[in-house]
Amino acid sequence: MAIHIGEQELLSKAEAFLQEAYAELGKSDLLQQRLTHVADEIAATGTWTPDSDELIHGARMAWRNSNRCIGRIYWKSLKVVDARNLDTPEAVFDAMDEHIAYAFNEGQIRSVITVFRPKRDQDEFAPRIVNHQLLRFAGYTQPDGTCLGDPAEQEFTKHCMSLGWKGEGTAFDFLPYVLRWPGFPEQWRMPSIPNGVRVPIVHPELDWFESLGLQWYAVPIISEMMLEIGGIQFTAAPFNGWYMGTEIGSRNFGDINRYNMLPAIAIRLGLDMASNHGLWKDRAMVELNRAVIYSFEKTGMRITNHHEAAELFVQFEESERKNGRDVHADWVWITPPMSASITPVYHRLYDNTVKGPNFYYQDPCIGKLRFDITPGCPFHAASLQATAQKPE
């Protein structure tokens, strides 16, 4: 049976993945038989289906290849849940609840990915989880244009409300799941939130810090990205590691376009904010990050700090090189957003070439593309087609 042009591209990607994966899994003696079977399957159906072992190792390879992740040293420990048999929104919602419960693990966070089925020929659109993360706080646009809650979630919050969801109207309301599944209308359901997943943010020395009313959730579960393995695109595949403190303290709480807490903290610290010469932002950020790490540890939640994470990334680099693999990384993302120059990754140069399998941003179901995930971005799904003929 003849292989067509699009099928030939898919076969090339499948072969490249299988050759690498089977060598790593010690199954090289089975490779030729598997390649023949995959070629026949693509010729007959236009696609191929990774088996369970291939899916597991492919997902782990995708984490290992994730240019923007500093925590890749743990890639071998990723738990892979094969949920490709699920085909109703209710079953998918239940699987997402199970993902949260397994990942949270009463604070001893475990890395896990749940892989749902890819798009089929008869599908009008690919399966998608509309949420940026399975757990995320709402952002309510106020009449004066300000935001109550997370400004990054304003568009999604409006969308959820248009579907009939209504939150309590606080700065830390969990958003619902929203699912677009082929053959069904778009629908939502509230997550099953484990007890203790909310972490109140307090400070080890500053008693007034608690009055800020800050809190965050214990586990970040990215749900908008696509997992690509051997040319197969899994458009719904939520995954998580665990938090590095600066992700919350410096970015979620510190960014001016997020919760923007540095001015409020600086005021309570009695800092002179009239000039940047006194480094009031830096001093406020340090105390905010101290509070985040202290609060997670106080409540028994797994978290790492940016110094430890950077040192472990260097160990990951050394381990990969011993195994004959180059480490690709996006320096801007690998370098922590606080005290960058006193971490070892700051002083290193990285090749930012994207290698598959990997995770890719997708066009959002609602709202606009972020500046760093436009189709020209090497981490956008469109880049797969643009680089299809280029060797890695």
Positive or negative: CA dihedral 302, 305, 307, 313: positive
Which of the following is catalytic: 20, 247, 287, 317? Answer: 247
- Determine whether 180 is an active site residue: no
100/85 Cα distance (integer angstroms): 19
In 3-state terms the chain splits into helix, strand, coil percentages (rounded to 5) of: 45, 15, 45
Give the list of residues 6+ apart from residue 211 with CB closer than 8 angstroms, or none: none
SS3 44: helix
Which of the following is catalytic: 34, 60, 64, 72? Answer: 72
Which of the following is catalytic: 7, 63, 69, 117? Answer: 69
Which of these, 252, 289, 291, lies nearest to 151 by C-alpha position? 252
Which of the following is catalytic: 48, 181, 242, 280? Answer: 242
Positive or negative: CA dihedral 43, 49, 50, 55: positive
CA–CA–CA angle 83, 37, 30 (5° rounding): 90
CB 210 within 8 A of CB 112: no
SS3 42: helix
143 prior amide bond cis, ω within 30 = no
Owner of token pair 């020929």: 121
SS3 187: strand
CA–CA–CA angle 74, 75, 79 (5° rounding): 100
**End-to-end CA distance of the chain, in Å?**
29
- Determine whether 72 is an active site residue: yes
- Determine whether 48 is an active site residue: no
Contacts from 197-202 at CB under 8 Å and sequence distance 24+?
197/100, 197/104, 197/135, 198/172, 199/295, 199/296, 199/299, 199/301, 200/295, 200/299, 201/253, 201/291, 201/292, 201/295, 202/291, 202/294, 202/295, 202/298
- Determine whether 69 is an active site residue: yes
Residues with catalytic roles? 69, 72, 242, 247
